[in-house]
Amino acid sequence: MTGSAKQFRATKKLDRFVAEFIIGPAEGGTRWLLAMTEYSEGGTRMSYVDGFIVAVPKKNLAAYRRMARKAGKVWREHGALDYREWVAEDVKVGKRTSFPRSVKLKPGETVVFSWITYKSRAQRDRVNAKVMADKRLAGMMDTKSLPFDAKRMIYGGFESLVKA
């Protein structure tokens, strides 16, 4: 076991994420690649991730944060290994592709990027079935009441491609 692996197991703090665009715009959107470390906190294997990109009006960020905290708690209670939400800080509009272009970002909005990690696709499907049935999230199922435009959300499930 290497020194960094020992440190990882001791501190339980290591996680790494890379998102990059590949091969320009796809039909109706942008193709992107996700890669995460193989282990989450505690050394549990992560081999599947759901990724999301949304445009959130800046004036709605506090409401979005409240919604995301509630959703994250529910996902974790039902078995997701990790739930993360990140707001754009260094995200420029590209000439052909970019995070802002992918969600058709409007003035006064920002990009939020999030992911949920699972042990496997099968575990993800079980967790998501429980989450969708959870009454605590019933209010989030009405897309008109959300603090962002769900029609412009990009999401998908990804399996591990590279571990470096």
pLDDT digits 0-9 by tens, 108-156: 999 999 999 999 999 999 999 999 999 999 888 888 889 999 999 999 9
- Kindly list the domain boundaries of the chain, sorted by start residue: 3-159
Q: Would you state the pLDDT for residue 159?
A: 92
Buried b (16+ CB within 10 A) or exposed e, 47-59: bbbbbebbbbbee
Burial of 147 by CB count in 10 Å (0-12 exposed, 13-18 middle, 19+ buried)? middle
For the chain, list residues with pLDDT below 50.
Answer: 1-41
Is the whole model's pTM more than 0.75, yes or no? no
Burial of 145 by CB count in 10 Å (0-12 exposed, 13-18 middle, 19+ buried)? exposed
What one-character DSSP code corresponds to residue 94?
A: P
CATH topology of domain 3-159: Alpha-Beta Plaits (3.30.70)
